């Protein structure tokens, strides 16, 4: 099962309001665009084993829906963070690959070939000469 790096941080909205946030590490790039990098504090990372990983194109759509658009430009924050269209999806895919660790299955030892002559073959039993 792949291990995904997640983040946990606090978003400082103002002197009195701090919001805890957490999610997959690639979401942190979008969060920086939404709130500004200087407003994120106490960023820490940890790994979680999960099979619940969307393909990059679906993840981009989810991020656009989850984080919304910039009020002035009306451009989705996910698009600002990763880029537009297929190039943005490729950038997101590379970012996701950097946050996902897949354990390699242990390599199996090659099977030994079976001997053609079983022990005690005809030459040893006296039938050879």
Predicted confidence (pLDDT) at residue 78 exceeds the cutoff of 70:
yes
Instruction: Determine how many CB atoms are found less than 10 A away from the CB of residue 100.
Output: 17
- The pTM for the full model equals 0.74
d(CA 126, CA 71): 95
| pLDDT of the residue at 46 | 95
3-state SS, residue 63: helix
Instruction: Please state the domain extents for the chain.
Output: 3-101
pLDDT digits (tens, 9 = 90+) for 9-33: 999 988 899 999 999 999 999 999 9
- Within 8 A by CB and 6+ apart from 54, the residues are 62
Q: How far out from the chain centre does Cα 88 lie?
A: 16
Predicted confidence (pLDDT) at residue 114 exceeds the cutoff of 60:
no
Q: 71 near 89, Cβ under 8 Å?
A: no
């Amino acid at each position: 099962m792949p291990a995904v790096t997640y983040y946990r941080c606090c978003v400082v909205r103002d002197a009195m309001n701090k919001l805890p946030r957490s999610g997959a590490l690639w979401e942190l790039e979008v969060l920086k665009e939404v709130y500004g990098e200087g407003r994120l504090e106490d960023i820490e990372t940890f790994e979680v084993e999960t099979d619940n990983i969307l393909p990059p194109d679906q993840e981009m759509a989810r991020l656009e829906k989850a984080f919304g658009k910039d009020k002035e430009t009306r451009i989705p924050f996910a698009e600002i963070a990763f880029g537009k269209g297929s190039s943005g999806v490729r950038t997101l895919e590379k970012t996701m690959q950097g946050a996902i660790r897949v354990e390699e299955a242990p390599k199996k030892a090659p099977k030994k070939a079976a001997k053609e002559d079983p022990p005690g073959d005809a030459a040893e039993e006296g039938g050879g000469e």
